[in-house]
Structure 1
Amino acid sequence: MNQDYIVPNNWSIIEEGFEADRVKSSESLFSIGNGAMGQRANFEEQYSGATFQGSYIAGVYYPDKTKVGWWKNGYPEYFAKVLNAPNWIGIHVEINGESLDLAKCKAITNFRRELNMQEGWYQRSFEATLQNEVEIAVHVTRFLSLDLDELGAIKYEVTPINSDAKVVFKPYVDAGIENEDTNWEEKFWETLEIKNEENSAFVVARTLKTKFTVATFMQNQIIVNNEIADVKPVEVTKEPSKITFSYEVAATQGQTVSIQKFGGYTISTNHKEEYLISAAKQVLAQATTLGFNALLDNQKLAWAKIWEMSDITIEGDTKAQQGIRFNIFQLNQTYLGKDSRLNIGPKGFTGEKYGGSTYWDTEAYCIPFYMATKDQNVARSLLEYRYNQLDKAIENAERNLGFKNGAALYPMVTMNGEECHNEWEITFEEIHRNGAIAFAIYNYHRFTGDYSYIPEKGLEVLIGIARFWHQRATFSSSKNQFVILGVTGPNEYENNVNNNWYTNYIAKWCINYACAQIEKVKSEYAADYERIMSKVNLNDAELQSWKNTADNMYFPFSEEYGVFLQQDGFLDKELVKVSDLDPSQRPINQKWSWDRILRSPYIKQADTLQGFYFFEEDFTKEALERHFDFYEPFTVHESSLSPCVHSIQAAALGRMEQAYTFYLRTSRLDLDDYNKEVHEGLHITSMAGTWMSIVEGFGGMRVKNNQLHFEPRIPEQWKGYSFKVNFRNAIVKVAVNHTETKVEVEGNQDVEIIINGAAQLVKN
């Protein structure tokens, strides 16, 4: 059974009532971020119950030594992971000498959390009776500034209810933190300096090995009777990696006293190391000049601007509306496209699983969202991220696997271009990720119309990838075709298989696409062509060998079922459908042994159907229907990346009830905790698939022959829905209800759009 405690609301995530066993889940769900940093929704005050402390800084990582029992040649030496960063949010609170700790209070009432997605802030409030019988009301507001992205702000208010009270606020900065997922219980940070001035404190710490240096800072103000009080800390406590201030405030019964805390990080990737503290002081000076309320007002304006372009409205279905906005909100909290050095980790700033690294999710799922809701430069930055790491992709293929001549295998998991995943069947068999990176280049050009990236940078990536596929394929004498052996497809419930159809198909496509772009650049961008060819040393004989491999690629096919087989031998399995599984056995990845999973027909996520999604125009609708009907009944959707693809395809087949069910699953995957793992963090990259489920699924958006196409459909549960896309600098708004589709254009151009097969000139 899925969790069901989040209150349905169009614009907010709301929890009512305190339950200790859902604290970790809520820490994930109420996470906040601003693209540069983020944090789980940990309590500011002390909490002795089960909690998962987590603060994270974009781009700061650590190479945790790989821990495997049996080392194999080619294994990466470390697993790079996002670091749990120094904690600046902490404010211990004492009431008449007793610590406030929700795990120890006699009573907790009116507990409420709200994450306001429209305005970008998080609030928590409750009333508590402490062991010393003092009753207090607490109200906390917290946000991470979009305008000043090194800054966060907290207002922590305490009101004694049944007596006067001495309230002691103990704000602190602590660099002595650990990752929950460390392999060897290593410490990742060394503290270099602790400094304080009046109401400000700075802790400078450096990561071991990677040598990122970070100044974590705080500045505090005490508020009494709604005015800043001239209160200095009565005590400053310094420990080896931590500094704590103590402020004492006398509060009469019913009087609210509060602390405002500004905090955050300045990092050595943005500032010279010797200026980190002075940079922090500048941030604090800006913050105190503006003040908490003005900063919050600016936050609301910044989020309003984001929502103006990226919002999707749904009428008549609050849970569906809440789900899509939660997904869009978290995507924007994770990545805003301001810094081309950054990418999108599968957990964003909400947890440590998957190491916070870059996966193929970015190219396959996230780029469409950012292309359509930002400008094309944001998506181009994501492509350039891979171009900048091409040399390491070549090194990965040549040094680790023995390929040659500039063949490139992009890492399955990376922070800096080096492979840092330590499972062989994923690291060196799930090679289809190379195809997603090439497809993203094609998808970018198809959507934006900007071809310049390919001659400038993209063609070198395509050549490296084509060389890899050409060398990875093996000629089978018995089949008289080329095969690709020993791979793992998108369906990770199959390892080390031969001729995964999706992998073979995308390999063939990559080679053909690279060849076509080489010809285009040769004829239209002569200077770039000469520069690239002299660099990569590509000749006609090699090109012909590529084409021969692509033209003679083998694809397993079943005459009996009329479908491409997911891989050789798929029909040897006992084909028991998911609907015939005992529900108590789900999810199978938590109930079954890995051996049993590998021998089963169950599919973790869209595999063959992923190919039909990418290359829809290569197949008839009848072929899609046949493959969907064959594979979907065996799919357990235990990957967050699965339901969105199936939702889009069900919509294309006109199966709206099924499409709607899949949409709800992808949009509320975390809110309703379908996979029983939300306490580990959110599924950020799959959230872009939720956006695709509406825009490409229900909206039927496609780009064909340089034109935008829509085939709108609407679930019967909805009264209407609308969305915007930025298509080649024209803002196209689509609004759909059960009787009509309206399309409007903002910008300086009229746009011809194809709606249900008919051309329509939409004037601005």
Structure 2
Amino acid sequence: MNQDYIVPDNWSVIEEGFEPAHVRSSESLFSLGNGAMGQRANFEEDYSGSTFQGSYIAGVYYPDKTKVGWWKNGYPEYFAKVLNAPNWIGIQIEIDGENLDLKTCKSVANFRRELNMKEGWYKRSFQAVLPNDVEIQVNVLRFLSLEWNEVGAIRYQIRPLNKSVNVTWKPYVDSGIENKDTNWEEKFWKVDAIKQYKNAGFIQSHTLKTNFEVVTFMDNQVFLDGENLNLQPAAVTQEESKVQLSYSVSVGQDQTVVLQKFGGYVTSMNHAVENLFEAAQNAIDRANQLGFETLLSNQIEDWDRIWQMSDITIEGDVKAQQGIRFNIFHLNQTYSGKDSRLNIGPKGFTGEKYGGSTYWDTEAYCIPFYMATKDQNVARNLLAYRYNQLEKAIENAEKLGFSNGAALYPMVTMNGEECHNEWEITFEEIHRNGAIAFAIFNYTRYTEDESYIPEKGLEVLIGIARFWHQRATFSTHKNKYVILGVTGPNEYENNVNNNWYTNYIAKWCIDYTVQQIENVAQKFGSDYTRIMNKAKLSQAEISEWKKVADNMYFPYSEEHGVFLQQDGFLDKELVSVANLDKAQRPINQKWSWDRILRSPYIKQADTLQGFYFFEDHFTREELKKHFDFYEPFTVHESSLSPCVHSIQAAVLDRMEQAYTFYLRTSRLDLDDYNKEVHEGLHITSMAGTWMSIVEGFGGMRVKNGTLSFDPKIPAEWQSYSFKVNFRNRIFKVQVSQSGTEIFVDGDQNIAIQLNGESFEAKALLNI
């Protein structure tokens, strides 16, 4: 059974009723972020029940020493931890001396949470009876400003319902934070200074080893029935890693007392260390000058601008509509495209699991979303991120014994160094190199930006081609080049030989790199000379690459008429997922790793991932054969799996199956399909949900430099629509059960393809 407590709604995520068993899951689902910082939806007040405290600052990390049973040459020295940052949202609340804690209250009624995705705020309300029989109504509103992304705001309202009371507010900033996933129980933060000035509190701390300097700040004001009481703290408590202020207010029955709290972070990534306290005070002054309501109004306007471009509308299916907006909302909370030093972590600002800020997910799944819903500079920044880490990728390859500028991009990274601590991933899941090359191709194909490859991309491609050339082995037995000892996208098989997807993308990378070298030589002569000299690349070396590409081995079954996922796949006991006892699911939580590795079960699209990337290389009949062979063995226990299968099912006109996969990818976290949402959300797969509609149901492709659509619609929907930015022109696609309309912003019609035929998108100003 999937969880089903989230109320279906077009624009909001809503929880009604207080259920302690849901708290940690809801802390993930209702998370907030603004691209620079984020936080789980922890209660501001104390909560002694099960909770997962989480606040995060983009780009700030700690190199936790890898924990392994024994050391291997080339093993990463550390695992980059996404750091649980100092907590600024905390407010201890005493009412007639009794601490407010929903765990200890006599009763909690009318509990409700709402994450308003349209306007970018989170609200919580409830009525509670405390152990001292005081009954209160509580309303809390919180948001993280998109415009002023160092600042967040809380408005916490209490109304006594059965008597006059004394309310004592104790807002605090706490730097005594630990990661739940620390390998060695180490502290990651060291406090340098604590300051308090009037209604503000500050803690300056730095990360050990990486030395990120951060000032966490807060500023507080108290209101009674809308009037600012202009209170100064009655008491100030400074502990080793905490600063707490105290305000006491007498509140009559049915009066409303409010604590307004601004807080956030300023970091040495954006300010000189000696100016951090000043920067924090400036952030507070700006927030106070604007005021809560203006900040909130600006927030609503900023989100409206985002939705104007990135929204996908679905008529007739509220759960599907809620799902896609939930995904789009969290993608925009996680990465804004403003800072090329940042990337899209798999948990974003919602949890600690996995570590690192960058996986192959960015190139394989996320770039299409940001490329089409923002402008091409955002996608170019994501590509530049990898270019800027090329030297580190070369170092990573050198640690494994490669030479001559061969580059192996990391599976997981914060700064370009490999920092994943599972050997079968670190050493063997080398297909990630292919996704990075594919992203360059995908970006160039979509944007028609010819400048990126000569300026930056070709150097990356050369490093990757050199890696594949050296990683391949010539088999005299097969008279072909083989690639041994790898893990493909299906991580339920490790240390296999000739994973088809890995071999195929290796060949493609070499061919594409050679093609781009020739293109740059013809069109960008000075860049060609610069790059060839810098890389010390000769035609003789390129000829050696081509030998590998032209003679790559691909395992194939004549019996089944399909490429084999890898050598030996047919040796497995081929029992389909349909015949697997449901009580054994998910197998990654029920089975030993040994049993999983010997099974035929596929975690995510593997061979079919290649058919997704290189759709043009295969016929529809070949796709059908491979889909019918592999999907029945796929357990979809990776968040990255359902979206690819949804797209391919739509290509095959299997709309019922495509729709089922779409619901799974769009509601993966809302319905907790994989029983792990309490650990955080699956941010990068959310871009795959967008692709399920735009590339799957909408059939969007770029064919011969032209935007092409082959729209289909699930039977459950009345209509759907989306926008894409294609080469700086905004297209709007509207699909209903009766047909398709495509509009383009501006006053000129634009040639497109629709269902395989040439048409003109209708010009329509301000679509």
Give the TM interval when normalised to the shorter protein. over 0.9
2:539 aligned residue: 540
- In the other structure, the counterpart of 2:518 is 519
Counterpart for residue 19 of structure 2: 19
Contact 1:699 1:713 in 2 (8 A): yes
Residue equivalent to 1:481 = 480
Once the two structures are superposed, residues 487-506 of structure 1 have per-residue CA deviations (whole angstroms, 9 ceiling, x without a partner) of 00000000000000000000
For the 8 Å contact 2:59–2:357, the answer to whether it is kept is: no
Name the SS of the counterpart of 2:355 in structure 1: helix
- Alignment-derived partner of residue 397 in structure 2: 397
Displacement of 1:688 after TM fit? 0.1
Residue by residue, what CA displacement relative to the aligned partner does 1:333-384 show, whole Å, maximum 9, x if unpaired? 0001000000000000000001142100000000000000000000000000
Assess if the C-alpha contact under 8 Å between 1:348 and 1:356 holds in 2: no
Does structure 1 conserve the Cα–Cα contact (< 8 Å) formed by 2:266 and 2:279? yes
Query: What residue number does 2:202 align with?
Result: 202
C-alpha distance in structure 1 between counterparts of 2:282 and 2:402, whole Å: 50
How far apart in 1 are the matches of 2:335 and 2:718?
32
Per-residue deviation, 1:232 = 1.1
Q: Is the 8 Å Cα contact of residues 347 and 356 (structure 1) preserved in structure 2?
A: no
**Aligned equivalents of 1:578, 1:556: Cα separation in 2:** 23
Unmatched runs of 5 consecutive residues or more in structure 1: none
Tell me which amino acid in the other structure corresponds to 2:100: L
8 Å contact kept, 1:403–1:468? yes
**Quick check: 1:460 aligned with 2:459?**
yes
AA partner of residue 103 (structure 2):
A
Cα separation, 2, equivalents of 1:98 and 1:63:
42
State the match for 1:94 in structure 2.
94
Instruction: State the partner residue of 2:221.
Output: 221
Q: Does 1:167 align with 2:167?
A: yes
- Tell me the equivalent position of 1:682: 681
In 1, Cα distance between equivalents of 2:433 and 2:450:
20
Tell me, yes or no, if the aligned pair for 2:150 and 2:265 is still in contact at 8 Å.
yes
- Per the alignment, residue 599 of structure 2 pairs with 600
Structure 2 counterpart of 1:759, which letter?
A: S
Instruction: Name the % identity.
Output: 74
- Residue 557 of structure 1 is matched in structure 2 by 556
Instruction: Please state how far the C-alpha of 1:423 moved relative to its aligned partner.
Output: 1.0
**Separation in structure 1 between the aligned mates of residue 150 and residue 703 of structure 2, nearest angstrom:** 42
* CA deviation map 1:30-49 (0-9, x unaligned): 00000000000000000000
Partner of 1:411: 410
- 2:125 match: 125
Letter in 2 for 1:287: A
Structure 2 residue 343 is matched with structure 1 residue 343: yes
Alignment correspondent of 2:9: 9
> 1:426 maps to what in 2?
425
Partner of 1:275: 275
Per-residue CA shift, 1:133-180, capped at 9, x if unaligned?
000010000000001000000000001011100001100000110001
**How much has 1:424 moved relative to structure 2?**
1.0
Cα distance in structure 2, aligned partners of 1:92 and 1:290: 26
| 1:24-43 alignment runs, 5 A limit | 24-43=24-43
* TM-fit CA distance, 1:426: 0.3
Deviation of 1:749 (Å): 4.7
Question: Equivalent residue for 1:673?
Answer: 672
> Following the alignment from structure 1 to structure 2, what is the Cα–Cα distance between the partners of residues 228 and 403?
66
Q: Is the 8 A contact 2:459 2:531 kept in 1?
A: yes
How do residues 126-165 of structure 1 correspond to structure 2 at under 5 angstroms? Answer: 126-165=126-165
1:182 aligns with 2:182: yes
Query: Aligned letter for 2:289?
Result: T
* Structure 2 match to 1:746: 745
1:622 aligns with 2:621: yes
Deviation at 1:281, TM superposition (A): 1.0
> What's 1:731 paired with?
730
- 1:730–1:748: 8 Å Cα contact kept in structure 2? no
CA deviation map 1:109-131 (0-9, x unaligned): 00000000000000000000000
Secondary structure of residue in 1 paired with 2:143: strand
Q: Structure 1 residues 464 and 40, CA, compared in 2 at 3 Å: closer, same or farther?
A: same
TM-score by length of 1: 1.00
Instruction: Give how far 1:693 is off.
Output: 0.1
SS where residue 85 of structure 2 aligns? coil
Residue-by-residue CA offset, 1:600-638 (whole Å, 9 max, x unaligned) = 000000000000000000000000000000000000000
- Amino acid corresponding to residue 427 of structure 1 in structure 2: T
Point out where structure 2 has 5 or more consecutive residues left out of the alignment. none
- Residue 80 of structure 2 aligns with which residue? 80
Deviation digits for residues 687-739 of structure 1, max 9, x if unmatched? 00000000000000000111000000000000000000000011000000011
**TM-score, length basis structure 2:** 0.99
Instruction: Determine if contact 2:356/2:412 at 8 Å carries over to the other structure.
Output: no
AA paired with 2:250?
A: A
Q: Which amino acid aligns with 2:483?
A: I
Cα distance in structure 2, aligned partners of 1:13 and 1:609: 33
Q: For 2:538 and 2:274, how far apart are their aligned partners in 1?
A: 51
Aligned equivalents of 1:757, 1:498: Cα separation in 2: 39
Other structure's SS at 1:353 match: coil
Q: SS of the residue aligned with 2:493?
A: coil
2:699 is paired with a residue of what secondary structure? coil
Return the alpha-carbon distance in structure 2 between the equivalents of residues 750 and 280 of structure 1. Answer: 50
Give the Cα–Cα distance (whole angstroms) in 1 for the partners of residues 201 and 244 of structure 2. 9
Give secondary structure in 1 for the equivalent of 2:541: helix
Which amino acid is the alignment partner of residue 460 of structure 1?
E
**2:294 alignment partner, SS class:** helix
TM superposition shift of 1:81: 1.3
Partner Cα separation in structure 2 for residue 141 and residue 509 of structure 1:
51
Give the counterpart letter for 1:550 in structure 2: A
Q: Which residue of 2 aligns with 1:251?
A: 251
1:205-259, Cα deviation, whole Å (9 max, x unpaired): 0000000000000000001111211211110000011000000011000111010
The aligned runs of 1:439-454 (5 Å cut-off) are 439-454=438-453
CA contact (8 A) 1:315 1:720 kept: yes
Q: How does 1:271-350 map to 2 (within 5 A)?
A: 271-350=271-350
How far apart in 2 are the matches of 1:608 and 1:692?
19
- How far 1:762 moved relative to its partner? 2.0
Could you tell me how far apart the structure 1 residues matched to 2:749 and 2:91 are? 55
- C-alpha offsets along residues 485-539 of structure 1, whole Å, 9 cap, x if unaligned? 0000000000000000000000000000000000000010000000001100111
Correspondence for 1:66: 66
SS of 2:354's equivalent?
Answer: helix
CA drift at 1:751: 1.6
Superposition RMSD in Å:
0.6
- Whole-angstrom distance in 1 between the partners of 2:407 and 2:89: 43
1:708 equivalent to 2:707? Answer yes
Q: Alpha-carbon deviation of 1:84? A: 0.3
- Residues of 2 paired with 1:226 and 1:468: CA distance? 65
Q: Is the 8 A contact 2:742 2:762 kept in 1?
A: no
Provide the C-alpha distance between the structure 1 equivalents of 2:762 and 2:314, rounded to a whole number of angstroms: 25
Matched-pair contact (CA < 8 Å) for 1:12–1:322: yes
For residues 453 and 744 of structure 2, what CA distance do their matches in structure 1 show?
A: 29
Instruction: Report if aligned partners of 1:730, 1:749 keep a CA contact under 8 Å in 2.
Output: no
2:375 matches 1:375? yes
What is the alpha-carbon distance in structure 2 between the residues aligned to residue 666 and residue 748 of structure 1? 37
- Separation in structure 2 between the aligned mates of residue 36 and residue 554 of structure 1, nearest angstrom: 45
Deviation by residue 1:387-416 (Cα, 9 ceiling, x = unmatched):
000000001101x11111000000000000
Contact 2:82–2:357, Cα closer than 8 Å, also in 1: yes
Shift of 1:748: 5.8
d(CA) in 1 for partners of 2:635, 2:410: 27
The residue identity in structure 1 corresponding to 2:111 is F
**Cα distance in 2 between the residues matched to 1:473 and 1:692:** 33
Report deviation, 1:8.
0.1
SS where residue 108 of structure 1 aligns? strand
Q: Is the 8 A contact 1:701 1:708 kept in 2?
A: yes
Instruction: Judge conservation of contact 1:63–1:210 (CA < 8 Å) in 2.
Output: yes
Tell me the distance in 2 between the aligned counterparts of 1:317 and 1:531: 55
CA deviations on 1:469-489 (whole Å, 9 max, x unpaired) are: 000000000100000000000
SS at match of 2:258: strand
